Amino acid sequence: MRGMGASGALEDWFRSRGFEPADPGEFAGPAGRPDMVFSGPSGIAFLIMADEKLISDRNYFMEIVMRASSLRHACNFLYLAVPRLAVPFVDTEVLRKHGIGLLMLTDGDVVEVLASPYRSVGGRGGAEAPGAEEGLLIEVLDRISALEQRLSALEREVMGLRPLTSELRALRGVREEVRALSSRLDVISRRLEALSSKVSSLAARPAVPAPAQAPTPAPPAPEVEGLPSFFRDNPWLEILARRGQDEIPA
């Protein structure tokens, strides 16, 4: 962030707006000195440079804003220069309330995200600086506390979701088992339907009748060989023969 590339890009950006680099040591005071100073026909501009520590350190932003605010009464324009990756972690509302502009450094280029308003040197900052610093500190601390509370709530929600993840994995296993059981039940159901159809068809068949008993053959007719034709095929002859048998005593 503090390399020659970033400094050169910032110098070019301020030169394009009519400013020239100045010695920061000439503007040193009890509150410290800015990282870069530019002067021009429209006034004096201070620049505070921050790095990607903004992403991981919550107190770093507060320190940067406090440092910049303590220098606000000594310049007409005040900017905070931040790398592109750290810009989403900058509270622009806090910068706007305290008259601090925001410059984004990206690939050797400078983009003005938030313009710095013009303020008179020594006007509002001289006598009111201590009170402004105290109010700014309280406001920044309140914002940090609110952010910490939100992060804690998010952490609790994430921790609450972790058991649900394991439960979802278990439910996936149960779902696979249910699918396997369902397939087995379908096979068993089809087999039962087939057996039921066979039983129904067997019950609907007619009963096979028992074979009829062969009739008892009639006694043979009496031998009529050698008799006249009158006795052949004569029914009276059979009747007379039976009657004769009935009259024979036992």
pLDDT in tens, 168-198: 777 777 778 878 887 887 788 788 878 877 7
Q: What is the dihedral of CA 225, 229, 234, 238, to 10 degrees?
A: -30
- Please give the residue range of the domain that contains residue 22: 4-150
Residue 64 lies in a domain: yes
What is the tens place of the pLDDT at every residue in 78-104?
999 999 999 999 999 999 998 999 999
pLDDT at 75: 93
Give the residue from 1, 5, 113 showing the smallest Cα distance to 52. 1
What is the overall mean pLDDT for the chain? 78
Question: Are the CB atoms for 73 and 129 separated by under 8 Å?
Answer: yes
Q: Is residue 183 situated within a structural domain?
A: no
Q: 95 CB contacts (<8 Å, ≥6 apart)? A: 65, 80, 101, 102, 114
Least confident among 38-47, 83-92, 110-119, 138-147: 138-147
Answer whether 0.75 is exceeded by the pTM. Answer: no
Q: Are strands 77-83 and 101-106 parallel, antiparallel or unpaired?
A: parallel
More confident residue, 208 or 224: 208
Q: What is the CATH number of the domain that holds 26?
A: 3.40.1350
56 lies in some domain: yes
Instruction: Over range 28-57, report the average pLDDT.
Output: 90
Q: How many domains does the chain have?
A: 1
Structural domain contains residue 226: no
Q: What is the pLDDT of residue 128?
A: 42
**Which one, of 116, 21, 7, 16, lies nearest residue 72 by Cα?**
116
Tell whether 130 is covered by a domain: yes
Cross-sheet strand order for the sheet of 36-40: 20-22, 36-40, 43-49, 77-83, 101-106, 109-114
One DSSP character per residue, 21-70 reads EE-GGGG-BTTB--SEEEEETTEEEEEEE--THHHH-HHHHHHHHHHHHH
Own/partner contacts of 91-97, CB < 8 Å, gap of 24 or more, are: 91/61, 91/143, 94/65, 94/139, 94/140, 94/143, 95/65, 97/139
Question: Is 48 among the domain residues?
Answer: yes
Q: How far is CA 85 from CA 1, 196, 213, 221, in A?
A: 11, 74, 110, 133
Residue 157, in any domain of the structure: no
The H-or-E segment that residue 80 falls in is strand 77-83
By three-state DSSP, how is residue 159 classified? helix
**Rg of the chain (C-alpha set):** 58
Residue 114 lies in a domain: yes
Q: pLDDT by residue (tens digit) across 2-27? A: 445 788 999 999 999 999 999 998 88
Distance CA 235, CA 233 (A): 6
